[in-house]
Structure 1
């Protein structure tokens, strides 16, 4: 990545669940010389003791992104990259704030809402957290995130372990109750890159490929040897996909 800066608009990263903006460390470090790369915490993730009400929603998180841009005096349209939960938020942002978007990157995410089995699973996890099974739940949540034997497993587990139980429970509710974003896909007017991991068992790459087909300017890329956190499993390949997409005309 020795090329000079070509994409001059900000690139904003939206993290997955149950992590925070630190999951984008390898993107911020490697892409910052080429792009103005920023990452934010959603839904009070990354805070030790959240003040007041912890209830959130995917829409509220999308509004947080808009507030972040306002507070940073970022008025130009931005590139938005969301992974998993961050992808749900990015889709909502694209729907609610289309004029503030220049390019869109959706990684390891889906437009469909939870089905009944997934909703029941989230309810069970919330119940177990309330009953004190925090450690077991977090290990269960993190197990499918990375390929087996990943050197980043301890780092990602540490990030998850630092999150507030109430914030995790609130996010589970937000994920459970999110709207179906599929009808919005045809309305996305900006170039969009959908990235999936070939070994993602949380959201199979076939779903990413189908989602890309429904977006007018959608492109699809699959990363081999990558699970749900494809940016962590294959950081160099992930970064190259993003930089090529941002610096290619119409890409």
Structure 2
């Protein structure tokens, strides 16, 4: 018999909780019923900035776990010597242990969180059953303003910041998304400016080609999601990430770097399509049904 109750009654709402991880307080959101998704957020914010897309997943029948990574959103920073992508990945594993997260999960990372997700899937192979990289760092290349290909580590921080600012000013993001990000980001900067800038450096210099190649060799189902108007993670960086993975399953959507915040429904459709589709075959190609369902997002 169909359940006629409103979605908010059928599915537990997204709620914020605290739990000690490695002896330090961690804030995280959890809610929903269904297959488990572990979501890792981007630079400068905590999970609260992603409330709308995460709540959309809950409404679509997904069990969501979204920690505020160390140094953000009220979660204590990592010790200085552990502030590396490998250190963040190790922390994700400890967080999963602390909340007794069933394994494997669908591991989803946006922007900087995508880099942490790559490292986590590489270092903790039992945790990720599939990996979804949403406008993720990890590619090794960047094209400068003159169209010259360069190593990503050569991209200056001011260029990242300039394009992030431009992304925030796109259309409805100015009024719908920017206030949410500012409410999340400003306290982070005031509370822990060192962590914010250290993570910015990690994002700027991240070249995860060896880890990506190892994941491809392992044949972990990996999905690359990228939006057409993203200049924070430009096409050249996304293409170098694809190259390292060896032609992964790719989903292209409209919008800029933070499209999932301005269009939560589209994000929910992408993630639920990924979860519902069968894994890639042994040759690494996507099933025809998956290709057809994703083409409608383009």
Which protein, 1 or 2, shows the higher relative CO under an 8 Å CA cutoff with sep ≥ 6? 1
Normalising by structure 2, what TM-score? 0.68
1:211 to 241, 262, 276: 241
Does 2:203 align with 1:175?
Answer: yes
Render the CA deviation track for 1:145-187: whole Å, top value 9, x for unaligned: 4323412121112211111312212222333453x21122233
Does 2:248 align with 1:222?
Answer: no
Supply the RMSD in Å over aligned alpha carbons: 3.0
Structure 1 residue 209, shift from structure 2 partner: 5.0
1:44 to 36, 54, 71: 71
Counterparts of 1:82 and 1:165 in 2: how far apart (Å)? Answer: 22
Counterparts of 1:149 and 1:9 in 2: how far apart (Å)? Answer: 31
- Which residues of 2 match residues 1-251 of structure 1 at below 5 A? 8-33=34-59, 34-47=61-74, 50=76, 53=79, 56-113=83-140, 115-118=152-155, 121-122=156-157, 142-146=164-168, 147-150=170-173, 151-163=176-188, 164-178=192-206, 180-188=207-215, 189-205=219-235, 207-209=237-239, 211-212=241-242, 214-215=244-245, 218-224=248-254, 226-250=255-279
Counterparts of 1:51 and 1:185 in 2: how far apart (Å)? Answer: 26
Structure 1 residue 242, shift from structure 2 partner: 0.6
Runs of 4+ in 1 over 4 A off after TM superposition: 50-55
Inter-CA distance 205–217: structure 2 relative to 1 (3 Å threshold): closer
Counterparts of 1:210 and 1:141 in 2: how far apart (Å)? Answer: 19
Contact 1:142 1:157 in 2 (8 A): no
Contact 1:197 1:227 in 2 (8 A): yes
- Helix, strand or coil: the match of 1:43? coil
Gaps of 5+ in 2: 1-6, 12-32, 141-150, 281-298
Contact 2:132 2:222 in 1 (8 A): yes
Normalising by structure 1, what TM-score? 0.79
Moved more, 144-153 or 38-47: 144-153
Contact 1:191 1:217 in 2 (8 A): no
Inter-CA distance 97–222: structure 2 relative to 1 (3 Å threshold): same
Gaps of 5+ in 1: 126-136
Match of 1:130 in 2: none
Counterparts of 2:279 and 2:85 in 1: how far apart (Å)? Answer: 29
Render the CA deviation track for 1:31-59: whole Å, top value 9, x for unaligned: 124111110111221128x5784562211
Contact 1:13 1:82 in 2 (8 A): yes
**More strand per residue: 1 or 2?**
2
Counterparts of 1:222 and 1:115 in 2: how far apart (Å)? Answer: 22
- Helix, strand or coil: the match of 2:238? helix
Inter-CA distance 234–52: structure 2 relative to 1 (3 Å threshold): closer
Contact 2:139 2:240 in 1 (8 A): no
Counterparts of 1:155 and 1:170 in 2: how far apart (Å)? Answer: 23
